[in-house]
Amino acid sequence: MPSQINTDSLKKAEVAATLAKSMITQAIEQSAANPQLAEEALKTASQEIAQAQTMVSQVQSAIQTQQQQQQQQQQKS
- Cα–Cα distance between 21 and 15 in angstroms, integer? 10
Supply the DSSP symbol for 6.
-
Q: Within 13 Å of residue 30, how many CA atoms lie on the same side as its CB? A: 15
Query: Half-sphere exposure (CA, 13 Å, Cβ side) for 39?
Result: 3
How confident is residue 1, by pLDDT bands cut at 50, 70 and 90? very low
Question: Which residues does 51 contact at the CB level (< 8 Å), separation at least 6?
Answer: 13, 16
- At 17-47, the pLDDT tens digits run 999 999 999 999 988 899 999 999 999 999 9
